[in-house]
A and B are shown apart, each in its own frame.
Chain A
Amino acid sequence: KAGVTQTPRYLIKTRGQQVTLSCSPISGHRSVSWYQQTPGQGLQFLFEYFSETQRNKGNFPGRFSGRQFSNSRSEMNVSTLELGDSALYLCASSHPGTANTGELFFGEGSRLTVL
């Protein structure tokens, strides 16, 4: 079974631009969560989607948004990029039966650099 796939793996943007990151969960998983990882703040929860509905949301500004499609694939978007948005963005999926309580399966992440 294929794992969680995130694209692109690496990208470089400039301040003010916007970026869209994509995540394909493990087949059969309907829950997708997004995390931002930086050396200073560690892993911070962005949002979680289940069956196309945002179920939980972290404490990030409105520039950060996401969505989930009917095939459970998810995208997150960051608009008006700031230098501080440089980070590793991690997507994780979980099996329906373990949503909110069980194991998360992570992708390799998308490393965003903002210049």
Chain B
Amino acid sequence: SQQGEEDPQALSIQEGENATMNCSYKTSINNLQWYRQNSGRGLVHLILIRSNEREKHSGRLRVTLDTSKKSSSLLITASRAADTASYFCACNQAGTALIFGKGTTLSVSS
């Protein structure tokens, strides 16, 4: 399976701190994506990084991809209470469905 596995499963930080979540996968991938889900809601796409990219930025988000280690990390800088949510990595190979990991639950307290 090429399913991503996030680490840690849960993360609690204070507002203003940075949050780092990691994702590992098992096989070669076409691209890797990160999504966010507020409790009981649908998922929202955050960022996509292709297999030939090593780093990507979007606002307070920074994603890295290390294909040699089959891992990715999502960094959220200067966290806010509104960042409290579950974060999922998802990856696929060309022509296959996007498969999600079990997610990291982030709690940001003010």
State whether A42 touches B103 (Cβ < 8 A).
yes
The smallest C-beta distance from A10 to any residue of chain B, in angstroms, reads 11
- Per DSSP, chain A at the interface is strand
A64 at the interface (CB under 8 A from B): no
State whether B92 touches A101 (Cβ < 8 A).
yes
Residues 63 to 110 of chain B near chain A (Cβ within 8 Å) = 88, 92, 94-103
The smallest C-beta distance from A60 to any residue of chain B, in angstroms, reads 12
B33: contacting residue among A35, A58, A88, A103, CB under 8 A: A103
State whether A45 touches B95 (Cβ < 8 A).
no
B26 at the interface (CB under 8 A from A): no
Q: Pick from A13-21, A69-77, A78-86, A104-112 the stretch touching chain B.
A: A104-112
B60 at the interface (CB under 8 A from A): no
Q: Which residues of B contact A (CB under 8 A)?
A: 30-31, 33, 35, 40-45, 48, 88, 92, 94-103
